[in-house]
Structure 1
Amino acid sequence: MDQVSEALPAPLLTPLKQIFHPKGDVYHALKASDAGYAGFGEAYFTTVIEGETKGWKKHLRMQMNLVVPVGQVCFYVHDENTGMTTPYLLGTGNYARLTVPPGYWMAFRGMSAGTNLVCNLASIAHDPLEAMNVALETYPFEIPA
């Protein structure tokens, strides 16, 4: 696996605004003026089934801005320089944006029944050559209660 010789910028957790409305709510995600904005490449959605974990993946150039508007997802961000894995629980009970700079390993797990929907507002368009994958067993993590 690649070793990064210099310190990485830290992941950033940003609380987001929800506007409740009787006809349907508005969930903010990302503005160009927000901390964590690093340009726009693409936006995509993925789902993860309750109890299933996707990952580990490390982007070499992409900065991810992750939002969970539906359900609940635990993101695990692993810094191979320190050996630490930090969990971030996002979703309806903790509506926030997780900004993950390139260079971190990341996995994520569906935590609630039904749909767990993740939106990634990525800084670059998908490029399979700029990301690496390793087996889920490579970095241990604890599942939040």
Structure 2
Amino acid sequence: MAINGVNITPLSIIDTKGGDVLHAMKISDHGYSGFGEAYFSTIEPDAIKGWKRHKQMVLNLVVPVGTVRFILFDDRDNQDNVNQFQEVTLSIEDGYSRLTIPPMIWVGFQGLGLQKSLVLNIANIEHSPEEVERKELAEIKFNWSKY
């Protein structure tokens, strides 16, 4: 089930001699809501990072290397899909795409495959510890072993 406000945008890969060009985001793209910062995170195979949600930040996540499974959880009371999960796997092999997550959606992610994965976040605002909420994995019940 799709969570309100979450978008998956197919991205282009331009084949060039010596290596590909992987698009991530343009100012004209759906999901672009300003620029605050861009940063990379790595995740080891089978490692799980989460849970966290941003009160103001819009996340635009791209996986240019490896495979990452994102689990989103919506506990916003004013939504039709309250207490619903959405699962999205990003990799070049699964159809290179960008995952846009609005504020107030819990997100956790897991490295899949045999190699370390790389996640790019193009955020609309600069990271601030005051606008992030965190929970331990056990605080939101999800079966991370099934994939």
Letter matched to residue 92 of structure 1: I
> Over aligned residues, Cα RMSD in angstroms?
1.3
For residue 98 of structure 1, give the secondary structure of its aligned residue in structure 2.
Answer: strand
Alignment of 1:23-62 (within 5 A): 23-62=18-57
Superposed CA deviations along residues 77-100 of structure 1, whole A, max 9, x for unmatched, are 100131111110001212100000
Following superposition, the deviation at residue 112 of structure 1 comes to 1.6
What is the alpha-carbon distance in structure 1 between the residues aligned to residue 129 and residue 71 of structure 2? 21
Following superposition, the deviation at residue 73 of structure 1 comes to 0.2
Letter matched to residue 33 of structure 1: S
Following superposition, the deviation at residue 9 of structure 1 comes to 4.5
In the alignment of these two chains, the number of paired residues is: 138
Following superposition, the deviation at residue 47 of structure 1 comes to 0.4
Superposed CA deviations along residues 37-64 of structure 1, whole A, max 9, x for unmatched, are 0100000000011101101001000000
For residue 45 of structure 2, give the secondary structure of its aligned residue in structure 1.
Answer: coil
Aligned to 1:85: 85
Aligned to 2:121: 120
Letter matched to residue 51 of structure 2: W
What is the alpha-carbon distance in structure 2 between the residues aligned to residue 133 and residue 74 of structure 1? 19
For residue 23 of structure 1, give the secondary structure of its aligned residue in structure 2.
Answer: coil
Aligned to 1:5: none
What is the alpha-carbon distance in structure 1 between the residues aligned to residue 21 and residue 138 of structure 2? 38
Unaligned runs of 5+ in 1: 1-7
Task: Provide the identity percentage.
Answer: 42
Instruction: Output the TM-score relative to the length of structure 1.
Output: 0.90
Unaligned runs of 5+ in 2: 77-81
What is the alpha-carbon distance in structure 2 between the residues aligned to residue 132 and residue 87 of structure 1? 20
Aligned to 2:104: 103
Following superposition, the deviation at residue 138 of structure 1 comes to 1.6
What is the alpha-carbon distance in structure 1 between the residues aligned to residue 4 and residue 54 of structure 2? 14
What is the alpha-carbon distance in structure 1 between the residues aligned to residue 55 and residue 109 of structure 2? 18
Following superposition, the deviation at residue 142 of structure 1 comes to 3.9
Aligned to 1:63: 58
What is the alpha-carbon distance in structure 2 between the residues aligned to residue 39 and residue 126 of structure 1? 13
What is the alpha-carbon distance in structure 1 between the residues aligned to residue 50 and residue 44 of structure 2? 13
Instruction: Output the TM-score relative to the length of structure 2.
Output: 0.89
